[in-house]
Amino acid sequence: MSDHPIKSPRKLIEVALPLDAINAACASEKTIKSGHPASLHLWWARRPLAAARAVIFAQLVNDPGTNIGRGFKYGKNKKDAAIERKRLFKIIEDLVLWENSTNEAVLECARAEIRRSWREVCELNKDHPQAAELFNPDKLPALHDPFAGGGAIPLEAQRLGLEAYASDLNPVPVLINKAMIEIPPKFAGRPPVSLSAKGRKKDLGLDRSWTGATGLGEDVRHYGNWLRNEAAKTIGDLYPQVEITADMAKERVDLKPLVGQKHTVISWLWARTVKSSNPAFSHVDVPLASSFIISRKAGKQAYVQPIIEGGTYRFAVKLGTPPPEAEKVNKAVSGSKFPLSSLGHSNGGRLHQSGRLCWSYGCQVDGDCCRWPTRSHLSQPDH
Ligand SMILES: C[S@@+](CC[C@H](N)C(=O)[O-])C[C@H]1O[C@@H](n2cnc3c(N)ncnc32)[C@H](O)[C@@H]1O
Protein backbone atom coordinates (compact mmCIF):
# COMPACT_ATOMS: atom_id res chain seq x y z
CA MET A 1 0.00 0.00 0.00
CA SER A 2 1.22 3.51 -0.84
CA ASP A 3 2.60 5.69 1.95
CA HIS A 4 0.45 8.45 0.56
CA PRO A 5 -3.08 7.16 0.08
CA ILE A 6 -5.32 9.41 -1.95
CA LYS A 7 -7.91 11.21 0.14
CA SER A 8 -11.16 11.01 -1.72
CA PRO A 9 -14.58 11.80 -0.23
CA ARG A 10 -17.44 9.53 -1.27
CA LYS A 11 -19.01 10.59 -4.54
CA LEU A 12 -22.67 11.42 -4.90
CA ILE A 13 -23.21 8.32 -7.07
CA GLU A 14 -22.15 6.12 -4.13
CA VAL A 15 -24.87 7.55 -1.91
CA ALA A 16 -27.96 8.59 -3.86
CA LEU A 17 -29.28 9.57 -7.28
CA PRO A 18 -32.60 11.04 -8.48
CA LEU A 19 -33.35 7.85 -10.39
CA ASP A 20 -36.95 8.66 -11.32
CA ALA A 21 -35.91 11.84 -13.13
CA ILE A 22 -33.01 10.09 -14.87
CA ASN A 23 -35.18 7.15 -15.97
CA ALA A 24 -37.90 9.45 -17.31
CA ALA A 25 -35.37 11.49 -19.30
CA CYS A 26 -33.80 8.31 -20.74
CA ALA A 27 -37.21 6.99 -21.80
CA SER A 28 -38.25 10.22 -23.51
CA GLU A 29 -34.90 10.47 -25.31
CA LYS A 30 -35.92 7.47 -27.42
CA THR A 31 -38.48 9.60 -29.22
CA ILE A 32 -35.98 12.33 -30.21
CA LYS A 33 -35.36 12.16 -33.93
CA SER A 34 -33.53 15.37 -34.76
CA GLY A 35 -30.26 16.57 -33.26
CA HIS A 36 -29.55 13.31 -31.45
CA PRO A 37 -26.29 11.45 -32.25
CA ALA A 38 -28.45 8.40 -33.03
CA SER A 39 -29.48 10.19 -36.23
CA LEU A 40 -25.81 10.58 -37.20
CA HIS A 41 -25.25 6.84 -37.40
CA LEU A 42 -26.90 3.74 -36.04
CA TRP A 43 -25.11 2.19 -33.10
CA TRP A 44 -26.87 -0.77 -31.56
CA ALA A 45 -25.66 -0.61 -27.98
CA ARG A 46 -25.99 3.15 -27.62
CA ARG A 47 -26.62 4.33 -24.04
CA PRO A 48 -29.00 7.21 -23.30
CA LEU A 49 -27.23 10.56 -23.15
CA ALA A 50 -29.24 11.51 -20.06
CA ALA A 51 -27.89 8.51 -18.13
CA ALA A 52 -24.31 9.18 -19.23
CA ARG A 53 -24.61 12.87 -18.27
CA ALA A 54 -26.06 12.10 -14.83
CA VAL A 55 -23.59 9.33 -14.06
CA ILE A 56 -20.51 11.37 -15.03
CA PHE A 57 -21.74 14.31 -12.95
CA ALA A 58 -22.47 12.13 -9.92
CA GLN A 59 -19.11 10.37 -10.19
CA LEU A 60 -17.25 13.66 -10.03
CA VAL A 61 -19.28 15.53 -7.44
CA ASN A 62 -18.57 14.82 -3.77
CA ASP A 63 -21.39 13.59 -1.57
CA PRO A 64 -22.03 16.25 1.09
CA GLY A 65 -22.47 13.71 3.93
CA THR A 66 -19.85 13.20 6.61
CA ASN A 67 -16.79 11.31 5.35
CA ILE A 68 -14.22 10.38 7.97
CA GLY A 69 -11.30 8.12 7.36
CA ARG A 70 -7.81 7.56 6.06
CA GLY A 71 -6.52 10.77 7.54
CA PHE A 72 -9.23 13.22 6.55
CA LYS A 73 -12.60 14.54 7.54
CA TYR A 74 -15.04 15.95 5.06
CA GLY A 75 -18.72 16.80 4.85
CA LYS A 76 -21.70 18.16 6.72
CA ASN A 77 -23.99 16.87 9.43
CA LYS A 78 -26.97 14.73 8.44
CA LYS A 79 -29.50 17.55 8.22
CA ASP A 80 -27.32 19.94 6.23
CA ALA A 81 -26.11 17.13 3.98
CA ALA A 82 -29.72 16.26 3.11
CA ILE A 83 -30.41 19.89 2.13
CA GLU A 84 -27.25 20.02 0.04
CA ARG A 85 -28.05 16.69 -1.64
CA LYS A 86 -31.47 18.07 -2.59
CA ARG A 87 -29.71 21.00 -4.30
CA LEU A 88 -27.42 18.60 -6.21
CA PHE A 89 -30.42 16.48 -7.21
CA LYS A 90 -32.08 19.56 -8.69
CA ILE A 91 -28.98 20.19 -10.80
CA ILE A 92 -29.17 16.60 -12.10
CA GLU A 93 -32.92 16.85 -12.74
CA ASP A 94 -32.35 19.91 -14.92
CA LEU A 95 -29.25 18.47 -16.51
CA VAL A 96 -30.85 15.28 -17.81
CA LEU A 97 -33.63 17.01 -19.75
CA TRP A 98 -33.11 16.76 -23.51
CA GLU A 99 -34.13 20.39 -24.02
CA ASN A 100 -31.30 21.45 -21.69
CA SER A 101 -28.61 19.65 -23.72
CA THR A 102 -27.41 22.97 -25.08
CA ASN A 103 -28.68 25.22 -22.27
CA GLU A 104 -25.46 26.97 -21.25
CA ALA A 105 -26.89 28.21 -17.92
CA VAL A 106 -27.80 24.66 -16.84
CA LEU A 107 -24.57 23.16 -18.14
CA GLU A 108 -22.42 25.85 -16.55
CA CYS A 109 -24.11 25.28 -13.19
CA ALA A 110 -23.18 21.57 -13.41
CA ARG A 111 -19.64 22.34 -14.59
CA ALA A 112 -19.15 24.75 -11.67
CA GLU A 113 -20.23 22.03 -9.24
CA ILE A 114 -17.77 19.56 -10.76
CA ARG A 115 -14.96 22.13 -10.53
CA ARG A 116 -15.87 22.87 -6.90
CA SER A 117 -15.69 19.18 -5.91
CA TRP A 118 -12.40 18.79 -7.77
CA ARG A 119 -10.88 21.76 -5.93
CA GLU A 120 -11.95 20.16 -2.64
CA VAL A 121 -10.23 16.90 -3.59
CA CYS A 122 -7.09 18.82 -4.61
CA GLU A 123 -7.12 20.67 -1.28
CA LEU A 124 -7.38 17.36 0.63
CA ASN A 125 -4.44 15.98 -1.34
CA LYS A 126 -2.24 19.05 -1.50
CA ASP A 127 0.47 17.27 0.54
CA HIS A 128 0.59 14.31 -1.80
CA PRO A 129 4.09 14.00 -3.31
CA GLN A 130 2.62 14.00 -6.82
CA ALA A 131 0.13 16.77 -6.08
CA ALA A 132 1.46 19.06 -8.83
CA GLU A 133 0.87 16.36 -11.42
CA LEU A 134 -2.26 14.67 -10.07
CA PHE A 135 -4.11 17.37 -8.15
CA ASN A 136 -3.99 20.58 -10.13
CA PRO A 137 -7.09 22.49 -9.00
CA ASP A 138 -7.17 24.37 -12.32
CA LYS A 139 -7.19 21.26 -14.48
CA LEU A 140 -10.00 18.74 -14.25
CA PRO A 141 -9.09 15.09 -14.77
CA ALA A 142 -9.65 13.85 -18.33
CA LEU A 143 -12.08 11.04 -19.16
CA HIS A 144 -11.20 8.07 -21.37
CA ASP A 145 -13.84 5.61 -22.54
CA PRO A 146 -11.94 2.65 -24.06
CA PHE A 147 -15.20 0.96 -25.17
CA ALA A 148 -16.83 4.07 -26.53
CA GLY A 149 -19.35 2.57 -28.98
CA GLY A 150 -21.84 5.27 -29.98
CA GLY A 151 -19.94 7.77 -27.81
CA ALA A 152 -22.57 8.71 -25.22
CA ILE A 153 -20.02 8.81 -22.40
CA PRO A 154 -17.20 10.85 -24.04
CA LEU A 155 -19.74 13.22 -25.60
CA GLU A 156 -21.34 13.95 -22.25
CA ALA A 157 -17.94 14.24 -20.55
CA GLN A 158 -17.02 16.89 -23.09
CA ARG A 159 -20.31 18.67 -22.55
CA LEU A 160 -19.56 18.75 -18.81
CA GLY A 161 -16.21 20.44 -19.45
CA LEU A 162 -13.85 17.47 -19.31
CA GLU A 163 -11.17 16.60 -21.82
CA ALA A 164 -12.63 13.48 -23.41
CA TYR A 165 -10.92 10.55 -25.12
CA ALA A 166 -12.64 7.67 -26.87
CA SER A 167 -11.44 4.44 -28.41
CA ASP A 168 -12.99 1.22 -29.64
CA LEU A 169 -11.81 -1.83 -31.55
CA ASN A 170 -14.57 -1.35 -34.11
CA PRO A 171 -13.86 1.30 -36.79
CA VAL A 172 -17.53 2.38 -36.94
CA PRO A 173 -17.56 3.75 -33.36
CA VAL A 174 -14.15 5.31 -34.04
CA LEU A 175 -15.66 7.24 -36.95
CA ILE A 176 -18.77 8.16 -34.94
CA ASN A 177 -16.63 9.46 -32.08
CA LYS A 178 -14.33 11.39 -34.40
CA ALA A 179 -17.37 13.09 -35.92
CA MET A 180 -18.89 13.80 -32.50
CA ILE A 181 -16.10 14.71 -30.13
CA GLU A 182 -12.92 15.29 -32.14
CA ILE A 183 -13.88 17.31 -35.21
CA PRO A 184 -16.54 19.76 -33.88
CA PRO A 185 -14.30 21.34 -31.19
CA LYS A 186 -11.67 22.10 -33.86
CA PHE A 187 -14.17 24.36 -35.63
CA ALA A 188 -15.86 25.78 -32.53
CA GLY A 189 -16.89 29.40 -32.90
CA ARG A 190 -15.84 29.63 -36.55
CA PRO A 191 -18.09 30.93 -39.33
CA PRO A 192 -18.85 28.45 -42.12
CA VAL A 193 -16.31 28.37 -44.97
CA SER A 194 -19.19 27.95 -47.42
CA LEU A 195 -20.09 31.55 -46.62
CA SER A 196 -17.53 32.69 -49.13
CA ALA A 197 -19.21 30.52 -51.79
CA LYS A 198 -20.78 32.69 -54.46
CA GLY A 199 -24.03 34.31 -53.42
CA ARG A 200 -24.15 32.87 -49.90
CA LYS A 201 -22.98 35.91 -47.98
CA LYS A 202 -26.30 37.54 -48.69
CA ASP A 203 -28.32 34.47 -47.65
CA LEU A 204 -26.70 33.95 -44.29
CA GLY A 205 -25.57 37.37 -43.19
CA LEU A 206 -22.10 37.93 -41.86
CA ASP A 207 -23.20 39.81 -38.81
CA ARG A 208 -24.50 36.82 -36.84
CA SER A 209 -22.25 35.01 -34.38
CA TRP A 210 -21.34 31.38 -34.91
CA THR A 211 -21.24 29.79 -31.47
CA GLY A 212 -20.16 26.21 -30.83
CA ALA A 213 -20.38 24.02 -33.91
CA THR A 214 -23.12 26.06 -35.65
CA GLY A 215 -20.70 27.21 -38.39
CA LEU A 216 -19.54 23.66 -39.00
CA GLY A 217 -23.19 22.52 -39.03
CA GLU A 218 -24.01 25.08 -41.71
CA ASP A 219 -21.11 23.83 -43.83
CA VAL A 220 -22.16 20.20 -43.42
CA ARG A 221 -25.69 21.09 -44.56
CA HIS A 222 -24.40 23.18 -47.47
CA TYR A 223 -21.92 20.60 -48.81
CA GLY A 224 -24.31 17.75 -48.02
CA ASN A 225 -26.88 19.38 -50.31
CA TRP A 226 -24.21 19.89 -52.94
CA LEU A 227 -23.24 16.22 -52.74
CA ARG A 228 -26.88 15.11 -52.98
CA ASN A 229 -27.44 17.31 -56.04
CA GLU A 230 -24.32 15.93 -57.72
CA ALA A 231 -25.42 12.35 -56.96
CA ALA A 232 -28.88 13.13 -58.33
CA LYS A 233 -27.28 14.31 -61.60
CA THR A 234 -25.43 11.00 -61.95
CA ILE A 235 -27.90 8.37 -60.72
CA GLY A 236 -31.09 10.35 -60.17
CA ASP A 237 -32.74 8.63 -63.13
CA LEU A 238 -32.68 5.38 -61.12
CA TYR A 239 -34.79 7.02 -58.42
CA PRO A 240 -37.60 8.69 -60.36
CA GLN A 241 -40.40 10.53 -58.65
CA VAL A 242 -43.68 8.68 -58.73
CA GLU A 243 -46.90 10.15 -60.07
CA ILE A 244 -49.98 9.26 -58.03
CA THR A 245 -52.61 8.04 -60.45
CA ALA A 246 -56.37 7.60 -60.00
CA ASP A 247 -55.78 3.87 -60.46
CA MET A 248 -53.44 3.77 -57.46
CA ALA A 249 -55.95 5.68 -55.36
CA LYS A 250 -58.71 3.15 -56.07
CA GLU A 251 -57.40 0.77 -53.41
CA ARG A 252 -55.63 3.39 -51.34
CA VAL A 253 -58.07 6.06 -50.23
CA ASP A 254 -55.24 7.86 -48.43
CA LEU A 255 -53.74 8.65 -51.85
CA LYS A 256 -56.87 10.30 -53.22
CA PRO A 257 -55.92 13.88 -52.31
CA LEU A 258 -52.54 13.35 -53.99
CA VAL A 259 -53.76 12.15 -57.40
CA GLY A 260 -51.92 13.93 -60.20
CA GLN A 261 -49.02 14.95 -57.95
CA LYS A 262 -45.45 13.73 -58.27
CA HIS A 263 -43.68 12.64 -55.09
CA THR A 264 -40.22 11.56 -54.07
CA VAL A 265 -40.06 7.89 -53.13
CA ILE A 266 -38.83 7.62 -49.55
CA SER A 267 -38.00 3.94 -49.56
CA TRP A 268 -36.86 1.49 -52.21
CA LEU A 269 -36.95 -2.24 -51.59
CA TRP A 270 -34.28 -3.92 -53.67
CA ALA A 271 -34.50 -7.63 -54.39
CA ARG A 272 -32.26 -9.90 -56.33
CA THR A 273 -34.02 -11.84 -59.05
CA VAL A 274 -33.43 -15.36 -60.30
CA LYS A 275 -34.88 -17.45 -63.05
CA SER A 276 -37.48 -19.79 -61.64
CA SER A 277 -36.35 -23.42 -61.72
CA ASN A 278 -39.97 -24.51 -62.07
CA PRO A 279 -40.08 -25.48 -65.77
CA ALA A 280 -43.54 -23.97 -66.11
CA PHE A 281 -42.18 -20.56 -65.13
CA SER A 282 -38.56 -20.80 -66.27
CA HIS A 283 -38.97 -17.63 -68.35
CA VAL A 284 -39.81 -15.55 -65.27
CA ASP A 285 -37.32 -13.54 -63.21
CA VAL A 286 -38.56 -13.84 -59.66
CA PRO A 287 -37.56 -11.74 -56.69
CA LEU A 288 -35.79 -13.14 -53.63
CA ALA A 289 -36.45 -11.14 -50.55
CA SER A 290 -36.10 -11.56 -46.83
CA SER A 291 -38.93 -9.16 -46.15
CA PHE A 292 -41.73 -7.42 -47.96
CA ILE A 293 -43.04 -5.83 -44.81
CA ILE A 294 -42.67 -2.05 -45.07
CA SER A 295 -43.90 -1.07 -41.61
CA ARG A 296 -44.92 -3.04 -38.54
CA LYS A 297 -45.74 0.01 -36.43
CA ALA A 298 -49.19 -0.28 -34.86
CA GLY A 299 -51.70 1.69 -36.91
CA LYS A 300 -49.17 2.18 -39.73
CA GLN A 301 -48.68 -1.38 -40.95
CA ALA A 302 -47.87 -1.66 -44.63
CA TYR A 303 -46.56 -4.41 -46.87
CA VAL A 304 -45.86 -5.26 -50.46
CA GLN A 305 -48.28 -7.70 -52.05
CA PRO A 306 -47.16 -9.62 -55.14
CA ILE A 307 -49.97 -10.00 -57.64
CA ILE A 308 -49.52 -12.98 -59.92
CA GLU A 309 -51.14 -12.53 -63.30
CA GLY A 310 -50.70 -15.23 -65.91
CA GLY A 311 -47.00 -15.89 -66.31
CA THR A 312 -45.85 -12.73 -64.62
CA TYR A 313 -46.35 -10.60 -61.53
CA ARG A 314 -46.54 -7.07 -60.28
CA PHE A 315 -46.46 -5.49 -56.84
CA ALA A 316 -49.00 -3.47 -54.92
CA VAL A 317 -48.43 -1.62 -51.65
CA LYS A 318 -51.12 -2.48 -49.10
CA LEU A 319 -51.93 -0.85 -45.79
CA GLY A 320 -53.05 -2.79 -42.74
CA THR A 321 -51.97 -5.98 -41.02
CA PRO A 322 -49.96 -8.20 -43.37
CA PRO A 323 -51.56 -11.60 -44.05
CA PRO A 324 -49.85 -14.56 -42.37
CA GLU A 325 -48.38 -15.61 -45.73
CA ALA A 326 -46.48 -12.34 -45.98
CA GLU A 327 -45.01 -12.87 -42.50
CA LYS A 328 -43.94 -16.39 -43.40
CA VAL A 329 -42.20 -15.11 -46.50
CA ASN A 330 -39.80 -13.28 -44.19
CA LYS A 331 -38.74 -16.55 -42.63
CA ALA A 332 -38.33 -18.32 -45.93
CA VAL A 333 -34.75 -17.21 -46.35
CA SER A 334 -33.73 -18.79 -43.07
CA GLY A 335 -35.16 -22.10 -44.11
CA SER A 336 -38.74 -22.37 -42.86
CA LYS A 337 -41.66 -23.89 -44.65
CA PHE A 338 -44.24 -21.56 -46.04
CA PRO A 339 -47.33 -22.00 -48.10
CA LEU A 340 -47.87 -19.78 -51.10
CA SER A 341 -51.61 -20.02 -51.05
CA SER A 342 -52.03 -16.25 -51.18
CA LEU A 343 -50.20 -16.34 -54.48
CA GLY A 344 -52.27 -19.15 -55.93
CA HIS A 345 -49.53 -21.73 -55.27
CA SER A 346 -49.51 -24.09 -52.36
CA ASN A 347 -46.64 -26.44 -52.80
CA GLY A 348 -45.05 -25.24 -49.50
CA GLY A 349 -41.37 -25.77 -50.34
CA ARG A 350 -38.64 -26.27 -47.79
CA LEU A 351 -35.47 -24.31 -48.16
CA HIS A 352 -31.98 -25.72 -48.01
CA GLN A 353 -28.68 -23.95 -47.40
CA SER A 354 -27.76 -24.39 -51.05
CA GLY A 355 -30.80 -22.67 -52.47
CA ARG A 356 -33.53 -20.08 -51.97
CA LEU A 357 -37.22 -20.43 -52.23
CA CYS A 358 -38.81 -18.58 -55.09
CA TRP A 359 -41.20 -16.20 -53.43
CA SER A 360 -43.70 -15.97 -56.20
CA TYR A 361 -43.72 -19.50 -57.54
CA GLY A 362 -42.72 -21.65 -54.61
CA CYS A 363 -39.92 -23.63 -56.21
CA GLN A 364 -36.36 -23.94 -55.03
CA VAL A 365 -33.73 -21.95 -56.91
CA ASP A 366 -29.96 -21.87 -56.82
CA GLY A 367 -28.36 -18.96 -55.01
CA ASP A 368 -25.60 -18.58 -57.56
CA CYS A 369 -27.87 -17.47 -60.37
CA CYS A 370 -28.60 -14.14 -58.64
CA ARG A 371 -27.82 -11.05 -60.62
CA TRP A 372 -27.93 -7.35 -60.08
CA PRO A 373 -30.56 -5.20 -61.78
CA THR A 374 -29.48 -3.24 -64.79
CA ARG A 375 -30.94 0.02 -66.03
CA SER A 376 -33.04 -1.90 -68.54
CA HIS A 377 -34.58 -4.00 -65.75
CA LEU A 378 -35.36 -0.93 -63.78
CA SER A 379 -37.13 0.68 -66.68
CA GLN A 380 -39.62 -2.19 -66.76
CA PRO A 381 -42.66 -1.19 -64.70
CA ASP A 382 -43.07 -4.67 -63.17
CA HIS A 383 -39.68 -4.41 -61.49
C1 LIG B 1 -21.82 -1.63 -25.04
S2 LIG B 1 -20.87 -0.91 -26.29
C3 LIG B 1 -20.53 0.68 -25.65
C4 LIG B 1 -21.72 1.56 -25.76
C5 LIG B 1 -21.45 3.01 -25.46
N6 LIG B 1 -21.26 3.25 -24.06
C7 LIG B 1 -22.56 3.90 -26.04
O8 LIG B 1 -23.18 4.66 -25.30
O9 LIG B 1 -22.84 3.80 -27.23
C10 LIG B 1 -19.36 -1.76 -26.07
C11 LIG B 1 -18.30 -1.39 -27.07
O12 LIG B 1 -17.07 -2.01 -26.68
C13 LIG B 1 -16.33 -2.33 -27.84
N14 LIG B 1 -15.34 -3.34 -27.48
C15 LIG B 1 -15.55 -4.62 -27.09
N16 LIG B 1 -14.38 -5.21 -26.79
C17 LIG B 1 -13.40 -4.28 -26.96
C18 LIG B 1 -11.99 -4.29 -26.81
N19 LIG B 1 -11.34 -5.38 -26.42
N20 LIG B 1 -11.31 -3.15 -27.08
C21 LIG B 1 -11.97 -2.04 -27.50
N22 LIG B 1 -13.29 -1.97 -27.65
C23 LIG B 1 -14.01 -3.08 -27.41
C24 LIG B 1 -17.38 -2.78 -28.83
O25 LIG B 1 -16.94 -2.63 -30.16
C26 LIG B 1 -18.57 -1.84 -28.49
O27 LIG B 1 -18.57 -0.71 -29.34
Taking CA atoms only, the protein residue closest to ligand 1 atom 4 is 149
Which residues, at least 6 apart from 1, have a Cβ–Cβ distance to it below 8 Å? none
β-pairing, 293-295 vs 302-309, is antiparallel
Question: What is the model's pLDDT at position 186?
Answer: 94
Q: What is the mean pLDDT of each run of 10 residues along the chain (383 residues)?
A: 83 97 96 86 92 98 89 89 97 97 96 98 95 96 96 97 97 96 93 72 64 89 94 91 90 89 84 80 78 85 83 82 68 33 32 36 38 50 42
Contact at 8 Å (CB) between 179 and 171?
no
Q: Which of 30, 41, 147 gets mutated to test ligand 1 (max ligand atoms within 8 A of its CB)?
A: 147
Q: From the CB of 149, is ligand 1 less than 6 Å away?
A: yes
Which residues, at least 6 apart from 103, have a Cβ–Cβ distance to it below 8 Å? none
**Measuring CA to CA, which residue among 124, 2, 117 is closest to residue 60?**
117
Question: What is the model's pLDDT at position 135?
Answer: 97
Q: From the CB of 47, is ligand 1 less than 6 Å away?
A: yes
The pTM of the full predicted model, rounded to 2 decimals, is 0.70
Which residues, at least 6 apart from 146, have a Cβ–Cβ distance to it below 8 Å? 167, 168
Q: From the CB of 272, is ligand 1 less than 6 Å away?
A: no
Taking CA atoms only, the protein residue closest to ligand 1 atom 12 is 147
Instruction: Ligand 1, residue 47: give the atom nearest the CA.
Output: 8
Q: From the CB of 287, is ligand 1 less than 6 Å away?
A: no
Q: From the CB of 46, is ligand 1 less than 6 Å away?
A: yes
How many A from CA of 168 to the centre of ligand 1? 6
Contact at 8 Å (CB) between 82 and 63?
no
Name the region of 127 (left: φ>0; alpha: ψ -120 to 50; beta: rest): alpha
- Three-class SS of residue 144? strand
Q: From the CB of 175, is ligand 1 less than 6 Å away?
A: no
**Measuring CA to CA, which residue among 323, 271, 286 is closest to residue 302?**
323
Question: What is the model's pLDDT at position 182?
Answer: 95
Question: What is the model's pLDDT at position 82?
Answer: 96
Question: Measuring CA to CA, how many Å separate 372 from each of 270, 288, 299, 369, 377?
Answer: 10, 12, 34, 10, 9
Question: What is the model's pLDDT at position 89?
Answer: 98
How many A from CA of 106 to the centre of ligand 1? 30
How many A from CA of 146 to the centre of ligand 1? 7
How many A from CA of 174 to the centre of ligand 1? 10
How many A from CA of 197 to the centre of ligand 1? 40
Question: What is the model's pLDDT at position 207?
Answer: 60
Question: What is the model's pLDDT at position 191?
Answer: 87
Question: What is the model's pLDDT at position 4?
Answer: 84
Question: What is the model's pLDDT at position 279?
Answer: 82
Q: From the CB of 150, is ligand 1 less than 6 Å away?
A: yes
Question: What is the model's pLDDT at position 344?
Answer: 30
